[in-house]
Structure 1
């Protein structure tokens, strides 16, 4: 939190701006390179992220241009310098940039959210309808809040917008300051809410996927990285309520934390594509365990007697020669049909008389529902992996 007019020097502020611009641009270019290297087509989430980066690039460069003007005005107010010949032109330029940057700021943040939502949409195929309804509700809420931030922000900041643009009038009356403060708090609230909505939707999806626990935790942390944006957004607005009264925050403070927050958002938007180049953990063939649809360890022809826990001895019994001989003599026993790769299982035909196990309609229905659920979760897992490749 700033403590005075001299809380940061012009050199330090510009150095931070240049560093964030360079880092964000490097990550964004790396994302484009990975996408081109993997020959992935440009999709909706890519276009939305390009728009977000264009907005970020525009207002960051403009902020760098007007930063010296802020420090000149500060020196003038402190009586350290006299008015300079181009002072009015500089003030008008700074006013126009600050007004326009509000639109670009919200566009950058919200289009990163739209990009992530477009990515999540690919994961919803085969999932229950409720997830699709939640996705549409999140999208509509994000569109509405983005529109209201743009309308209520720059549009209602000043009583006389024409004087603000043409003469560089300062919108600092008590009424204008209250509106500006209310708009900042409103924008902060909806930004936080939409960040939470965009984060929790994929976390709920991957929680039900059949994947390794470390990989599931990694995906969850990736999607939960929006908490960093919430932290920076909180720091950005905290100065507004520093003394408990409505006040116009220091423009230097706003520009610095605006650039930091949007840089973080763009980098987070690039992470799903960049995560595809992270080397996957390799396991030795001897340690690899494959499971069938009922959760038992699947035995390969050359490993039927080793590596399987004792709790799954039933599988060894069924695959032993003694079991095969007894099954040939007794036609009433259970028969298990397998393919060459032992990838499928079939229930025996229904028995109504004789020896053997009776398979009721209820058991058949439970088996069918379990197979259907396994297939849906496997499709969702494959879509998640394909979206990261």
Structure 2
């Protein structure tokens, strides 16, 4: 299960771990600060983003803790250091960490997918045809996550072999581990593409200029970043393993922290864009609603009208709404002036 080849130093592994923890924590804190400051309501997609950050945090801390042990064990296997009393215990500790972190990586990635799905669900409410597609993609996402977990369990011939040092190293086990790597990559990318395409029809149907449609669509295409980093990760790990050996432990840790950390950051980005647009629209609405008209313009455009008493009583308003009588018809030769008022409500998303 352990490959003796390390392509980066222990310091580089821990450095990327601390760096990704700091960056993802910053993005999450800013996201939730803006959420409660501007929107004030915690949504289900926020819960999944928070969950993805927790999964990533545990994964990164595990890798940071296991890194010194990992390099000590690989140095022993390469013959660079003599045997030491706790070598078997250290190797088993490594196996347990990598077994758990493989599933933590998928849990972080799939939590971000679910955050996007539940964000889109609120957009698609009232559109039955689109909601059918949503349910299909949701079920596909859950099924693929479960299948990835199963592939991790079956990467060794048995659970006893998994947690016994030296037993999970047959040709069958190596092939199963490589297959699990490529299978999880494939369903990861396919589900990302499906989720990104989900709101396309809705965005295209909006009555907006094409440039605004593109800008709105760009908000929901940030998942491209997840796809790109997933491709880079699987190429780097697969090429190093040459498809016939177990992937390097340090290389798995390095790219696992990068991919899961970037996924958490990408999960935060749509909220930044939506909160910004909502804040900008609110400022515009405030400016339009309370802009004062110059007094000179008012005096120049004055039209004398007879004194009219205006009643704003609730009873009269309700009576006029419930009345079914026809409007008075203007007398012959007179001009009848009617006034209609159209009230539009701008429903800000989120």
TM-score range, shorter chain: 0.7 to 0.9
Structure 1 position 225 matched with structure 2 position 188: no
CA contact under 8 A between 1:240 and 1:246: conserved in structure 2? no
CA contact (8 A) 1:112 1:269 kept: yes
In structure 2, the residue matched to 1:98 is 98
Q: Please name the residue that 2:70 is paired with.
A: 70
Q: Distance in 1 between matches of 2:151 and 2:337?
A: 68
Q: CA deviation at 1:174?
A: 0.5
Return the match for 1:180 from 177, 180, 192.
Answer: 177
1:252 Cα deviation (Å)? 1.3
Of 234, 237, 242, 2:234 maps to: 237
CA offset digits 1:273-314 (Å, max 9, x no partner): 2221366388899x9xxxxxxxxxxxxxx99xxxxxxxxxxx
Alpha-carbon deviation of 1:118? 0.8
1:204 aligned onto 2:201: yes
Cα separation, 2, equivalents of 1:200 and 1:57: 29
1:91–1:168 CA contact under 8 A, matched in 2: yes
Residues 330 and 198 of structure 1: CA distance in aligned 2, closer, same or farther (over 3 Å): farther
Residue 62 of structure 1 and its aligned partner are, at CA, apart by 0.3
| More divergent stretch after superposition (179-188 vs 267-276) | 267-276
CA distance in 2, matches of 1:27, 1:175: 42
Partner of 2:270: 272
Written as runs of structure 1 = structure 2, the 5 A alignment for 1:29-40 is: 29-38=29-38, 40=40
Deviation at 1:94, TM superposition (A): 0.9
Q: Give a deviation string over 1:158-177, Cα, whole Å, max 9, x none.
A: 12322432x43352210011
Q: Match for residue 87 of structure 2?
A: 87
Encode CA deviations 1:6-29: one digit per residue, 9 max, x unaligned.
532111221111111110011111
Shift of 1:223: 1.5
Tell me, yes or no, if the aligned pair for 1:60 and 1:259 is still in contact at 8 Å. Answer: yes
Higher RCO (C-alpha 8 Å, min separation 6)? 2
Counting only pairs closer than 5 Å after superposition, residues 364-379 of structure 1 correspond to structure 2 as none
Matched residues in 2 for 1:185 and 1:211: separation?
A: 41
CA distance in 1, matches of 2:221, 2:12: 31
CA displacement at 1:330 relative to structure 2: 12
Assess, with a 3 A threshold, how the Cα gap between structure 1 residues 163 and 176 changes in structure 2: closer, same or farther: closer
Output the CA distance in 1 between the equivalents of 2:130 and 2:337. Answer: 37
Q: Which runs of 5+ in 1 are unaligned?
A: 288-301, 304-327, 345-377
Change (3 A) 1:283 1:60: same
**Displacement of 1:256:** 1.3
SS of alignment partner, residue 386 of structure 1: coil
In 2: Cα distance, 1:243 partner to 1:160 partner = 22
Residues 143-199 of structure 1, C-alpha deviations (whole Å, 9 max, x = no match): 11111111122x10112322432x433522100111111111111111000000111
The answer to whether the 8 A contact 2:225-2:266 is kept is: no
Query: RMSD in angstroms over aligned alpha carbons?
Result: 3.1
Corresponding residue for residue 159 of structure 2: 161
Higher mean C-alpha deviation, range 183-192 or range 242-251: 242-251
Q: Deviations over 1:222-266 (max 9, x none)?
A: 221211111111122113255764321111111111111111111
SS at match of 2:26: helix
Task: Report the counterpart of residue 312 of structure 1 in structure 2.
Answer: none
- C-alpha separation between the residues in 1 aligned to 2:247 and 2:116? 31
SS at match of 2:125: coil
Out of 223-232 and 92-101, give the one that drifted further. 223-232
Query: Residue 94 and residue 125 in structure 1: after superposition, are their counterparts in 2 closer, same or farther (change >3 A)?
Result: same
CA contact under 8 A between 2:49 and 2:111: conserved in structure 1?
A: yes
Equivalences for residues 1-389 of structure 1 within 5 A = 5-38=5-38, 40-127=40-127, 129-153=128-152, 155-165=153-163, 167-238=164-235, 239-241=237-239, 245-275=243-273, 276-277=275-276, 280=280, 339-340=340-341, 343=342, 385-387=348-350
Residues 176 and 330 (structure 1 numbering): CA distance in 2 closer, same or farther, change over 3 Å? farther
Pairwise CA distance, 1:217: 2.5
- Cα displacement (A) at 1:105: 1.2
CA contact (8 A) 2:124 2:131 kept: yes
Q: In 2, Cα distance between the equivalents of 1:46 and 1:191?
A: 21
- Provide the TM-score with structure 1 as the length reference: 0.70
After TM superposition, give the deviation of residue 338 of structure 1 in Å. 5.2
